[in-house]
A and B are shown apart, each in its own frame.
Chain A
């Protein structure tokens, strides 16, 4: 086997090291990432009647529903902030998180045709989803800013300089949703029932996250359980920075950051293991 000492560029083998992530290869395919994002941009409005309006319609209707049901009927307090903007702030960022998570978790199933034909670093796909969804988020955030400006003019909300911290918060959400999504995607290739569970679970998870209620309404006794949810600081940040309500602490944000990084690392390792053989199970 003296020939094996040659400089082979690539060794295809059955069992590979769990941590052989080939991230360099992902970097080499960065043009592909750019193309996929471009594709998503170019094709999103094609052959729809209302086009980009859909991006507005959904959050507005959800906000109105929440305002009527949870605000006016159930009379859940909003820490003194106007109900409409309170719900909208939560819905806007929740929309980004949940879409990313669900889309990433389906990445193998929805791309099985292309994955079965040609090899490129599979991580490109989840990355595309995370970045392409920013476009949708951007549109919805602009809408949020319009309402924000209106309420600010009225003097009912009290934003502070933390508002400029949002890109970092988005990054945490992107990392976290991608991490969780990657883990789920690896499971859904084999156990297809999970896709149903994810769609259902994400709905339930929304109620476990302070979106329709502020953290302050949670009884002191159970607060620590709710605070285990790494999304809590993100939503509390949103209200604190933009509406001037709630209790946002930098220490709990550190917890979110650490959680996101750990979950992403775990997700990438699992994803990498599954992507090599998923074509045989999907």
Chain B
């Protein structure tokens, strides 16, 4: 197994706040140190990248001393909470930005899919865009010509190939864009959350293509996603980043439990959430408080909110399990939010759900106030957490919905025989 990517002490520093004020001053200082042959003074300072605590310095380290080696044919997932430095690492690898210190050695062509459809021009036809996008991603014209039919076939938009892409539905757009990228002949493929769009069928197709790429064709894939399920199926190794540091780098089945455990430890045991310190007079509708309780096998969530301006909005409560699978969404009204314009004042809504239907797991609750179409008035992710313990260790079944032992299928013997 040969090493295709080798990173040595990769660090990336960002400057916070307004670029512009004080830039010239810092630049001159940096230049003055440089002229005298000294080290950049700003490299010595800087906080670890932790959003929740307010740092003293204007400079933060988005990545700090990252070292790793990736072998050819490996499929590596990069996981971590938002702001852990995943995207920064991918940006450095795909040469969009450069590291502040350190070096990365690579072998073979790198293709990055930081966002599909980069450089698509809405006025040009699908055909023209395949060539343009392919060229942007580093393909030569003859390569694209050779792969053209395959690309069109994979995307499934043959009928519209000579139509400007501005007439495409967003799904078709993404299909075409992913198709081009998936047919790149590169030794290393970098993928960042491209699967967030497109329908389930196409997502499956993309995942299939990606696993072909890594397993079948022996190419190296780096994959960033919040979808732990996808990371689990697609990768054999995983990097876990937290606040810009590489916590662990090992096989996927070892890393994912560490990550999930860490992730939940941060928020476990939240039974109440008080939003009153964060109230903002400009928001037409806003959460004030929510409480959670379990009694008699019923999960009960009380949500208090204030309406400052009558807008059509529904209160939605989403339950997500530890693997980031959305279990169910409860809504306070019917779907048509126009009818449910509430007048100004404070309200309380109570959601209930029988606990028995949930498979033993840890669940996170997200609340959102939106008009179900375009506008989201207030949003709170993972504010409550509860756990359903596995009361009977022998009782494990796959799935997110759980059935009571009494409700399992009935068995009847149909005929006698051996």
Contacts and interface: CB of A to CB of B under 8 A. Distances in A.
Interface of A: 3-4, 6-14, 16, 29, 31-32, 34-36, 38-39, 42-43, 46-47, 113-120, 190-192, 276-277, 279-281
Given A13-B98, A29-B138, A32-B136, A117 B105 contact: no
Interface in B107-160: 107-110, 112, 114-115, 118-119, 121, 123-124, 128, 131-132, 135-141
Contact of B135 (A32, A115, A276, A279): A32
A131 to B, nearest CB: 15
Contacts of A279: 91, 96-97
A14 B101 contact: yes
A39 B123 CA distance: 9
B123 A12 contact: no
Interface in B18-40: 19-20, 23-24, 27
A8 B107 contact: yes
Given A29-B135, A32-B136, A39-B128, A12 B104 contact: yes
B97 A277 contact: yes
B92 A12 contact: yes
B135 A35 contact: yes
B194 to A, nearest CB: 11
A119 B95 contact: yes
Contact of B103 (A13, A117, A119): A13
B236 interface: no
B102 A118 contact: no
A190 B22 CA distance: 11
- The 10 A-B pairs of least Cβ separation, nearest first, read A119-B95, A32-B135, A12-B104, A8-B105, A13-B103, A117-B118, A35-B135, A46-B123, A31-B141, A279-B97
A115 B96 contact: yes
B136 A120 contact: yes
A39 B19 contact: no
Contact of B115 (A3, A13, A115, A117): A117
30 contacts: A8-B107, A9-B106, A9-B107, A9-B109, A10-B106, A12-B93, A12-B105, A13-B99, A13-B104, A14-B99, A31-B141, A32-B135, A34-B141, A35-B132, A39-B121, A39-B124, A42-B128, A43-B121, A47-B123, A114-B118, A115-B96, A117-B112, A118-B114, A118-B118, A118-B136, A190-B23, A191-B23, A191-B24, A277-B97, A279-B91
A118 B123 contact: no
A113 B120 CA distance: 12
A29 B92 CA distance: 20
B275 to A, nearest CB: 34
Nearest to B14: A280
Contact of A31 (B20, B93, B114, B140): B140
Given A9-B107, A118-B114, A119-B112, A281 B136 contact: no
Contact of A42 (B15, B109, B110, B124): B124
Contacts of B123: 42-43, 46-47
A118 B106 contact: no
Nearest to A32: B135
Interface in B279-314: none
A122 to B, nearest CB: 10
Interface of B: 3, 6, 14-15, 19-20, 23-24, 27, 91-110, 112, 114-115, 118-119, 121, 123-124, 128, 131-132, 135-141
A200 B23 CA distance: 24
Contacts of A46: 123
Given A31-B140, A118-B112, A118-B119, A11 B96 contact: no
Contacts of B119: 114, 118
Contacts of B104: 11-13
Given A8-B105, A8-B106, A13-B104, A118 B140 contact: no
A191 B106 CA distance: 34
Contact of A118 (B23, B96, B108, B141): B96
B132 A12 contact: no
A10 B131 contact: no
Contact of A39 (B94, B95, B101, B132): B132
Contact of A14 (B23, B100, B105): B100
Contacts of A280: 14-15, 97
Contacts of B136: 32, 35, 114, 118, 120
Contacts of B91: 116, 279
B98 A277 contact: yes
B97 A3 contact: no
Contacts of B138: 29, 32, 120
B20 A36 contact: no
B317 to A, nearest CB: 35
Contacts of B27: 190
A102 B67 CA distance: 43
Most central of B3, B91, B97 by chain A CB within 10 Å: B97
Contacts of A8: 6, 105-107
A13 B11 CA distance: 10
Contacts of A43: 121, 123-124
A11 B118 contact: no
Contacts of A4: 105
Nearest to A192: B20
A42 B100 CA distance: 40
A77 B138 CA distance: 54
Most central of B23, B92, B104, B135 by chain A CB within 10 Å: B135
A199 B3 CA distance: 50
